[in-house]
Structure 1
Amino acid sequence: MKNNNLTKEALIEHVKLAINPHFKDWVLFKNGTYIIIENLEKGETIEALAMQKMKEFGPVHVGSPAGDFNTITLNKTEGWVIAGHGYGMYTYVHPSEVEDPEAQDYVIGLFGRNKRDEDGQHPEIIYVNRA
C-alpha cells in the first residue's frame, strides 16, 4: 500500500460523500477514520465523545472483535470505507493508497484497519461536522 497523498481538504470532501447525509454530526481523524455521533448527551462535546470512542475502539487487537472488519465499496465517491469494531466508526481508503487497482476487499480492509489503528494509537482530529 502507498502513503496517502490526499490533501486534508480532499480527504474531508471524500468522507462527506461517503457518509449518508442523514448523519450530520461526525468527526474525522488524521488517517481517515471518522466517527458518526448520533446521541450526544447534555454537556458532552462531539470532540470529547469522538476521542473517547477512538481510544476505546480505534486500536486494533488481533484475535479480538477489534480485528474484524468489513470493506464497503462507495458509489458517491472513489474508494472504500472499512467498518469494524465500534458502532459508527469507519475508515476511508482512497484508490491512490492502493498499489493494485484490482486488490481484493480483504487487502483493502487490512490497510484500512491499519489506518484505524494508527488513529487509535495517535488520535488527532482534523475536522468536525456539526448539524
Structure 2
Amino acid sequence: MDNLSTLENIKLAINPKFQDWVLFKNDTYIIFDDITTIENVQDEAIKLMKEFGPVFAGGTAGDFSVIHLNSTEGWLVSGHGYGMYTYVHPTELDNEVPNDLEIGLLGRSKRNSDGENPEIVHINSSSDS
C-alpha cells in the first residue's frame, strides 16, 4: 500500500484537465466543467449531492460503473449524477482481489452516505492554481 492520503489519491485519479471539483467526507466528489457560471460552488455541490447522492432501491441511483485507476491505487465508482464519482481505496475492502460488484457496492454506499449527510471537506478550484 502506498502512503498517499485520500485527497492525494483522488487528485491523481482526476483527469488534470478538470481543476474545479468538490470533495465530500465519504470520498465522493463532483467535477464542475465551468465554475465561472456558478454563483456559490458549495451550495451547488451540496444541492447536486442531495439530488444524486442518495441511493433508492429500483432507481437509477443504484446503478454504477467501476473505473480501474492507472495513476494511483483504487477505483472510482460512477453513478447517475454527471461528474460525480466516489473513490474506493483497496484497504477499504476485505478481499485482496475484489471484483467490480464488491467495489461498486462499497462506492455506492459511500455516495449514499454523502448524499444523506453532505459534508464538504475540500474544494479544488482552477483559480487556486
Q: Hey, what does 1:3 align to over in structure 2?
A: none
SS at match of 1:90: strand
Unaligned residue ranges in structure 1 (runs of 5+): 1-6
Using the size of structure 2 for normalisation, the TM-score is 0.91
How big is the shift at 1:40? 3.3
Partner of 2:84: 89
Once structures 1 and 2 are overlaid, which stretch shifts more, 35-44 or 67-76?
35-44
Q: 1:47 to 1:107 in 2, by over 3 A?
A: same
The answer to whether the 8 Å contact 1:25/1:46 transfers is: no
Contact 2:38 2:44 in 1 (8 A): no
Overall identity of the aligned pairs, in %: 54
The answer as to whether partners of 2:20 and 2:35 remain within 8 angstroms in 1 is no
Is 1:64 aligned with 2:68?
Answer: no
Q: Distance in 1 between matches of 2:28 and 2:57?
A: 18
Q: Is 1:45 paired with 2:40?
A: yes
Tell me how far apart the structure 2 counterparts of residues 20 and 45 of structure 1 sit (CA, whole Å). Answer: 23
Structure 2 distance, partners of 1:43, 1:113, is: 27
Q: How does 1:110-121 map to 2 (within 5 A)?
A: 110-121=105-116
Q: Which position in structure 2 is the counterpart of 1:77? A: 72
Instruction: State the partner residue of 1:34.
Output: 29
Give the TM-score normalised by structure 1. Answer: 0.90
**Which amino acid in structure 1 is aligned with residue 71 of structure 2?**
K
Cα distance, 1:34 vs structure 2 = 0.3
Instruction: Using the TM superposition, give the Cα deviation of residue 43 of structure 1 relative to its aligned residue in structure 2, in angstroms.
Output: 5.5
Unaligned runs of 5+ in 2: none
Name the structure 2 match of 1:13.
Answer: 8
Q: CA deviation at 1:39?
A: 2.8
- Quick one: distance in 1 between partners of 2:77 and 2:99? 13
Post-superposition shift, 1:42?
A: 4.0
Mapped partners of 2:103, 2:6: distance in 1: 17
CA RMSD of aligned residues (A): 1.5
**113-122 or 98-107, which moves further after superposition?**
98-107
